[in-house]
Amino acid sequence: MATAESYTGKINRKLNKKLRIVEVAAGRQKADLVLKNAAYVNVFSNEICHGDIAVAEGLIVGMGSYSGEQEVDVAGKIVLPGFLDAHIHLESAMVTPHEFVKAVLPHGTTTVICDPHEIANVMGTDGIEYMLQATEGLPVDVRFMLPSCVPATPMDESGAILDYRTIDSFYDHPRVQGLAEMMNYPGVIAADPQVLEKIVAAQAHHKKIDGHAPDLVDNDLNAYIAAGVYSDHECHDPADAIAKLERGQFIMIREGTAARNLEAMLPLLTPQYADRCMFCCDDKHPSDLLEKGHIDYNIREAIRHGVDPILTIKVACHHAARYYLLNNRGAIAPGYLADFVIIDNFQDFHIEKVYKKGVEMFDGQTVRDFSVPTIDPYLARKAHSTFHVARLSAQDFAERRPRGIIGMVPGEIVTVDQGYSDRIDVEWDILKIAVIERHKNTHHIGIGYLQGYGLKSGAIATSVSHDSHNIIVVGTNEEDMAAAANRIVENQGGIVVMDKGEVKGEVILSIAGIISDDTLENVNRDLEDAKEAAFALGVSRGIDPFMTLSFMSLPVIPTLRLTTRGVIDVMTQQYI
């Protein structure tokens, strides 16, 4: 009986809201909010339309002539739907979701599709639950794709192993849209049952499956798509993207911090191809969010390069909403969420106001205050205690037998095989590099050598090391390497620049070793100070000292990588 009453109460509440929506739409009641004299982008007719935009109960109820309890004259401005990031790892911003939302709201972002595989590699399903709780009720809708590759490959050691059974119950969560980027494309092509069963399970829940398959061609590409992978965000040239478009995939045009593909992909932004394109950033570091922006940066750059403004806006919101079946956003039309971005004009593209569900969240100067979501105390404690590593000494890094040299490539995250070395040689820029397992106190330490980094003194360590987030450290001597790694453990995660036993710069990332409790501005300040400390010790100014290190342990990017068990050849998946 209680259940029936609760259901009846729910229906009555929804009915009352629906009655008000219809009354306002019909003009019989005043709207909650009216944007008067609006010029707005109509994503359905591909034109600028004019009229009042009425809002009730957080929804757009009509365009035409309306009066409201609150009226805002937007004459001379352009009203756009809120922007949508089609693929992002929130953890890459190095701050909590609350801080991330504060940063992106002024840039017009009102929805993001998040893949929490960074924190899931550390905390397993508890990491997914942590992020679900940390994003609940925020004024940017955070939707989720479930991690498909934890760890990235069996060659790696992460804090958890997630098979399809482990994540299956999360598909019932109302903010879960599907299965995140299937990075293990070799497993898909080889018909690995454990890989394919994740796709089968997602399809059984009628969910999307996103892709990650750089430069895949011919029958291998056919096999990957035939398996059920619907999108790709790894395209770096139009030919790759068009081959995937021709086979029915959707293309996410990425402009992030590590990978910047927007300019190369501009030829897709034409009526022939753009209908199956959307924008994403994948990874955005604090400095980029603060200095360049978010999806608005993609829009601004595309328009600057001559892309039709209305088509660009559709790529920034409507196409991703349609792809993910978020059918009440990405347009200004009756029944859609009242998520608005108000700009001055397409050329300058200065964002003057941002509304979320009819509430002004950014007034052109400041972001409206909003509450921090509550996180289960158990999850909060666990997230702040993810390091299980015995204290290290120089002797732990003193292996003298020949090890592979990972050769860096300027401006790229791919590497080359530079042979072998059995010693550090600063004059020839041959440094020792190590990856330390930090999840289960196995004392596994993979050791190799790195060329092209430029460090002349000291050591640099980070617990942001994709995707398993073990501790990675590079140095000119074993003593500083041990000191830097120990400092990471003391801080429960982060970045450390060490020289002669003295900390020269650090960023504390105490949530799972990859996220800070601090503000975005403070994290950016500490990060930039640490970069300068690294450059002062000789790191080449042409690279990002920490982002470069973070990818040296990812065993799915050619040619050589370092895991907790040693240097591997990615192409053969063999230790060298």
DSSP state letter for 267:
G
Using alpha carbons only, what angle is made at residue 49 by residues 43 and 53, rounded to the nearest 5 degrees? 95
pLDDT by residue (tens digit) across 133-167? 999 999 999 999 999 999 988 888 999 999 999 99
Q: Which two tokens stand for residue 186?
A: 């070799």
Q: Which two tokens stand for residue 258?
A: 């590590």
Give the residue among 325, 372, 314, 317 at the shortest CA–CA distance from 107.
317
pLDDT by residue (tens digit) across 248-257? 999 999 998 8
pLDDT by residue (tens digit) across 67-91? 999 999 999 999 999 999 999 999 9
| pLDDT-wise least confident of 144-158, 218-232, 342-356 | 144-158
**The residue count for the chain:** 576
SS3 380: helix
Residues 6 or more apart from 44 whose CB is under 8 A from it? 331, 333
> What's the whole-model pTM score?
0.94
pLDDT by residue (tens digit) across 207-219? 999 999 988 999 9
Other beta carbons less than 10 A from residue 360's beta carbon: 16
Determine how β-strand 47-56 pairs with β-strand 31-42. antiparallel
pLDDT at 209: 98
DSSP state letter for 436:
E
Q: What's the rounded Cα separation, in Å, for the pair 480 and 477?
A: 6
Q: For residues 463 and 493, is the Cβ–Cβ distance under 8 A? A: yes
DSSP H helical ranges for 176-260: 185-189, 193-204, 218-226, 238-246
Give the residue among 468, 487, 495 at the shortest CA–CA distance from 562.
468
Mean pLDDT value of segment 489-517: 98
Phi, psi of 219 (to 5 degrees): -65, -30
SS3 347: coil
pLDDT band at 3 (very low <50, low <70, confident <90, very high): low
Give the residue among 280, 219, 288, 228 at the shortest CA–CA distance from 254.
280
Domains defined for the chain, CATH in brackets: 83-301 (3.20.20.140), 385-575 (no CATH)
The C-alpha torsion from 209 through 376 and 339 to 253, rounded to 10°, is: -30
Q: Which two tokens stand for residue 555?
A: 């065993």
Q: Which two tokens stand for residue 516?
A: 């800070």
pLDDT at 4: 57
Residues 6 or more apart from 157 whose CB is under 8 A from it? 151, 437, 439, 440, 442, 444, 468, 470, 563, 564, 565
Give the residue among 181, 252, 253, 245 at the shortest CA–CA distance from 211.
181
pLDDT at 557: 83
DSSP state letter for 336:
S
Phi, psi of 33 (to 5 degrees): -145, 140
